[in-house]
Structure 1
């Protein structure tokens, strides 16, 4: 009989993981303020435990805190998205080139695409985002570079948080499955140039969708500012 070694986690780690999942799933929305008292009651743990969990999430960029103000779920500006996706292009386009040149097609990425293809447009956006995340992580893992993997993990939380904006937009599971399949097929060709181009197109389409969603949300909240072209104070 096979055995599986279970990973022991502390209460702080458990709360940190659950709170991050609550944020990623939309239980807490961008801009929501989170207090130690509120979270202590939610998870039925001491405030010191919550304080430690918050420190970890602040480090990962999942939460933010301004001087002398409360902790809150960050609202991404369009500049934030541009910066984050510029980093994604640098990392993932090189990853696509490397894997294509080596003839490496990670099974984890293929499995994620197959799972996407089984979803319908009526299915949960959270399921789609889960497979999207698995797909990109599988590509990075397949490079075999520990430093690249470590760097990618350092921006993963912010990327995952940015991708939750898909939940607010008119997402299409079938379209996203097709885009990921085309990207993977380009790597499969063994043509690094084609793989890099497919990666660039895929990332730029995601960036455009999220930026448009953020702009539309702000237009609904402040139609005058959006129509006048006045920049958001966060973007100045």
Structure 2
């Protein structure tokens, strides 16, 4: 099936359409995406498909090893734990810096409001996208390009996790909103210690809820990787 693309750069359009397919579950965890498959799906040149796939690999939405096709990540309980523990390390440091200035990023406020709006509409995918964007905005506000880059490398996988959490209703929207509000309020109060604790407890809760769900479901098996064709 050939999909229509928006009037933007062709690589950008293919990458964005693939990203949405991954986070919505249209392309399932473990699915293998060869460059030829992507080229055929969007009726684009293979070079365009390759560039789009590589972009999603860089952003963490796809995984790829040498001489293998890209695939949608299949995250184990250990992966989830490590991912969120890494987020805690990075975001606690970022929020400590941001709260020392006491300036709440306007982008973070806007994205937090969107989380509430999309939650009320039952739009889990856009809710997760706004959630990710809020956390990105907070980290960027710390003013460290290196911290921002490190954070960006794990947020693709984190985005996939957030969608899984919200589609399974593991965290109530009101709980998420209250925790986001606490984070932003502690920044406004110029309270670095409270800001760090707010984001830490927020991420710990999400991590523990998701890990509990994974343990309930049992270990998920990975699909077999295929050589690039």
User: What is the DSSP-based 3-state SS (H/G/I as helix, E as strand, rest coil) of the residue aligned with 1:118?
Assistant: helix
Superposed CA deviations along residues 33-59 of structure 1, whole A, max 9, x for unmatched, are 223343222201123322332233333
What TM-score does the superposition give when structure 1 sets the normalisation length? 0.79
Partner of 2:204: 204
What are the equivalent positions in structure 2 for 1:84-103 lying under 5 Å apart?
Answer: 84-103=83-102
1:177 is aligned to: 177
1:104 alignment partner, SS class: coil
Q: Distance in 1 between matches of 2:37 and 2:216?
A: 30
1:136-166 CA-to-partner distances (Å, cap 9, x unmatched) read 1121122222222222222222222222222
Unpaired runs of at least 5, structure 1:
1-7, 223-231
Once structures 1 and 2 are overlaid, which stretch shifts more, 172-181 or 207-216? Answer: 207-216
8 Å CA contact retained: 2:119, 2:173: yes
Identify if the C-alpha distance between structure 1 residues 95 and 71 changes in structure 2 by more than 3 Å, giving closer, same or farther: closer
Quickly say closer, same or farther: Cα 1:168–1:49, change in 2 above 3 A. same
Contact 1:129 1:163 in 2 (8 A): yes
Instruction: Structure 2: state its 5+ residue gaps.
Output: 1-6, 223-229
| Pairs within 5 Å for 1:20-59 | 20-59=19-58
Q: Which TM-score applies when normalising by structure 2?
A: 0.81
| Counterparts in 2 of 1:12 and 1:168: CA distance versus 1, 3 Å | same
Deviation at 1:93, TM superposition (A): 0.7
Any idea what SS the aligned residue of 1:40 has? Answer: helix
Cα 1:33–1:167, aligned 2, differ >3 Å: closer, same or farther?
farther
Q: Which has the larger radius of gyration?
A: 1
8 Å contact kept, 1:186–1:195: yes
Aligned counterpart, 2:73: 74
CA contact (8 A) 1:119 1:173 kept: no
- Secondary structure in structure 1 of the residue aligned to 2:109: helix
- Which one has more relative contact order, counting CA pairs under 8 Å at least 6 apart? 2
CA distance in 2, matches of 1:26, 1:167: 12
Q: Is the 8 A contact 2:14 2:42 kept in 1?
A: yes
Using the alignment, how far apart are the partners of 2:24 and 2:217 within structure 1? 18
Q: CA RMSD in A?
A: 2.5
Q: Does 1:134 align with 2:147?
A: no
